[in-house]
A and B are shown apart, each in its own frame.
Chain A
Amino acid sequence: MGTLTGEKIVSLSDMAIGYAPDRVLLHGINLTVMPGEMVALAGRNGSGKSTLLKSLLGFLPVQEGDCQLFGMSPVTLDVRKRARMVSYVSSRVPPMPSMSVRELVALGRMPHTGWTGRLDASDRERVMKSLKEMGMEGFSDRKVDELSDGERHKAMIARAMAQDTCLMVLDEPTAFLDIPNKYALIRILGRYRDSGRSVVYSTHDLESAWLWADKFWVIHRGRILEGAPEDLGIRHVFEELFEDSAITFDPSGRRFIPQLASRGTVGLEGESSEVLHWTRIALERMGFRISENPVSTTILVSGSAGDHRWRLVSEREEETFPDIYSLARYLIKAK
């Protein structure tokens, strides 16, 4: 694979991207990817993530500035040579011909095979290794058109792995996956990075990216910012990214919480800390603030091990509920 230690895998300077010179989406882009680095590209819908990825791959012309892939221009680079250095997984799962997963993954060997596309023993070994890395050995004889979207997407990624490149570019690879698979995939990409390769991927799932990415590229207000996730945290980039939306960023927990109209303040008392914790979550989800001081409305949690009661006490009323659900329904109606 030939890792270029110390050299930049991708180097973008003063680059402008877009589909035409008069339709520039982003300009003044200065970014780098180093060997063995995993970069997560974040940004709101329509901010130009896919365009940026396709431009650095050489699929789209660079409108301005300089884009270098391994020190060469991706547009003029020989297509076959380029395919030995960069692999790509699109955000869309293409309509699949009725081929087996193994055949699909074997297509990734194309830049390395001769004109007939015949695989030799080492090619076949690489295909099996990629299937194994993606946890898809059991799928190798299944037809791709019988798989779920998430499984097909994983097969497409296995195909990119079989391409055996220094850089893998993925457009929203986690979009089709359930939560465990999402984390599993980011972990797999992290391991791929640990073997000295570079990964650039766009995502909306910042929480998983925080766990594994070395660097973030965040597109925000027509600019693109680069840095370790924590660097961007210090600069309040994530708070700003979503400031006009219904969620806010909670830097302490590195999570997003919904912004809701306040329904007022309630008190919460009880013994079991676990039940109190879940009750607090429910109340916060509905827009209540929890007060430590005595307030006019208080919820008392009583009972033990599997048999709890929620008692709502206020000046006007007193009501008991068997579960959080009925308490929540009552509170919403009462307000």
Chain B
Amino acid sequence: MKPDSRSLLIFALLALLLVLLSLLDIRLGSVRITFSEMLAHLSHKRSLSPEQLIILKSFRLPRLAVALLAGAALPVCGLQMQTLFRNPLAGPYVLGISSGASFGAAVVVLGAGTAGMVAGWGLALSSWVGAGLVMVLLLFVSFRIKDVMTILILGIMFSSGLNAVISIMQYFSDASALKSFVIWSMGSLGNVTGGRLVLMSATVVPVLAFTLLYPKMLNGMMLGEEYALSMGIRVRRSRIIIFATTSILAGTITAFCGPIGFIGIAVPHITRTLLNRTDHRILMPATILTGMVIMLFSDIVSQMPGSDRMLPINAVTSLVGIPVVIWLVILNRKSTSF
């Protein structure tokens, strides 16, 4: 199970793409800041203007960081869910985490009707609490229920139930609050700055690092829980670890950026097909890299270079990702098996 030359080549290409896209992501925007200006600033030859500095430090760099965090975290959640449920259609949101986050957001935006809080702490924290409550419920259930498929069904039920409540809240809310909520639900990478970025990074980075520590357990789960048990995997504990890390990652990203669809499901799939491997020791880091690359690319597209308008990130990730997945499926018919 050593990384073969194909995997190494793909890793190198992804890393290269990651660097290029990161640079491009900083470079793009309505205010012109060229690479030579940035280089000159870094080597203390010629400073950037105060306006340029503010734009870089308060907007573009945080936005890049958020894109990288979301692009890394959501696909990891998706991969873990696909492995645990042995289903290629599972994603970070099957457990109802994002519905919990949406519910938290809806309470603030629709309930309080304070549109001014949309970009603020209140929204992020309320949404975080919503996701956290679903996680606690989920962990409680998974201690009690033995069959993992029952938990999947319960997760989907949680999620549908919460969405129904959100619909009712939307129905009774006024137009401006409704619009704020709809905009929140389209996702955004640009609203997380300052203290919130620190909090988000401080949560996501360690958990993400932790998920890289148990590839053997994930490999063991691929044949189902009975086989995992027979091969010495502590199944109950593994399940709790997978649920907890997925909830924290997906919940935090959703709380701070709003729901970002598609990449959580599609990226693990794309990565598996690219590498043609199932070993999580390779798959996990490769999924993180692929996720960051696709997220950055989506972010660049969403900024519509050359125009002042922005597209919602949630729509762009799907529009960017779907052709890739279709192309891979047609190219390699067998990629449908997880």
Contacts and interface: CB of A to CB of B under 8 A. Distances in A.
Interface of A: 57, 59, 79-84, 86-88, 90, 94-99, 103, 106-108, 110-111, 113, 115-119, 143, 145-146, 163
A143 B334 contact: yes
Given A94-B223, A97-B278, A117-B219, A163 B231 contact: yes
Interface string B243-285: 0000000000000000000000000000010001111010000
Interface of B: 1, 86, 213-216, 219-220, 222-224, 226-227, 229-234, 272, 276-279, 281, 334-335, 337-338
Contacts of A98: 272, 276, 278, 334-335, 337-338
Given A98-B276, A98-B278, A110 B337 contact: no
Given A111-B232, A143-B334, A116 B276 contact: no
Q: A84, A98, A99 — which one has the most chain B CB atoms within 10 A of its CB?
A: A98
B337 to A, nearest CB: 5
14 contacts: A59-B226, A79-B229, A80-B234, A82-B232, A98-B272, A98-B276, A99-B277, A99-B278, A107-B222, A107-B223, A107-B231, A110-B219, A111-B231, A111-B232
A88 B230 contact: yes
Which 4 A-B pairs rank lowest in CB-CB distance, beginning with the nearest?
A: A83-B232, A117-B216, A111-B232, A88-B230
B227 A94 contact: yes
Contacts of B220: 107, 110
A82 B232 CA distance: 7
A119 to B, nearest CB: 7
A86 B278 contact: no
A110 B231 contact: yes
Contacts of B231: 83, 107-108, 110-111, 163
A99 B218 CA distance: 14
B148 to A, nearest CB: 13
Given A94-B223, A97-B278, A98-B337, A116 B215 contact: yes
Contacts of B224: 94
A103 B232 contact: no
B292 to A, nearest CB: 23
Contacts of B226: 59, 88, 90
B216 A96 contact: no
Q: A83, A88, A97, A145 — which one has the most chain B CB atoms within 10 A of its CB?
A: A97
A79 B234 contact: yes
A135 B236 CA distance: 35
Contacts of B222: 97, 99, 107
Q: B224, B335, B337 — which one has the most chain A CB atoms within 10 A of its CB?
A: B337
A145 B334 contact: yes
Contacts of B214: 115
A139 B230 CA distance: 24
B281 A117 contact: yes
B17 to A, nearest CB: 24
Contacts of A87: 230
A107 B220 CA distance: 7
Contacts of B86: 94-95, 97
Nearest to A96: B337
A115 B231 CA distance: 13
Nearest to A114: B216
B268 to A, nearest CB: 12
Contact of B227 (A80, A88, A117, A143): A88
A88 B335 CA distance: 29
B1 A119 contact: yes
B216 A113 contact: yes
B1 A110 contact: no
A242 B139 CA distance: 48
Nearest to B224: A94
Q: B222, B224, B277, B338 — which one has the most chain A CB atoms within 10 A of its CB?
A: B222
A108 B279 CA distance: 14
Q: B215, B231, B278 — which one has the most chain A CB atoms within 10 A of its CB?
A: B231
B228 to A, nearest CB: 9
A78 B226 CA distance: 15
A238 to B, nearest CB: 31
Given A103-B1, A119-B1, A110 B232 contact: yes
Nearest to A84: B232
B223 A57 contact: no
A269 B219 CA distance: 66
Contacts of A95: 86, 337-338
Contacts of A106: 1
A86 B227 CA distance: 12
A8 to B, nearest CB: 21
Nearest to B222: A97
A103 B227 CA distance: 15
Contacts of A103: 1, 278-279
A178 B219 CA distance: 31
Given A97-B278, A115-B214, A119-B1, 10 more contacts: A88-B227, A94-B223, A94-B227, A98-B337, A99-B279, A107-B222, A110-B231, A110-B233, A145-B337, A146-B334
Contacts of A115: 213-214, 216
A117 B283 CA distance: 14
Nearest to A112: B232
Contact of B219 (A82, A107, A143): A107
Contact of B216 (A79, A108, A116, A145): A116
Q: A86, A103, A107 — which one has the most chain B CB atoms within 10 A of its CB?
A: A107
A108 B222 CA distance: 13
B1 A79 contact: no
Contacts of A88: 226-227, 230
A97 B227 contact: no
Contacts of A143: 334
B230 A86 contact: yes
B334 to A, nearest CB: 6
B223 A83 contact: no
Given A82-B232, A97-B222, A110-B232, A90 B216 contact: no
Contacts of B279: 99, 103
A59 B229 contact: yes
Nearest to A111: B232
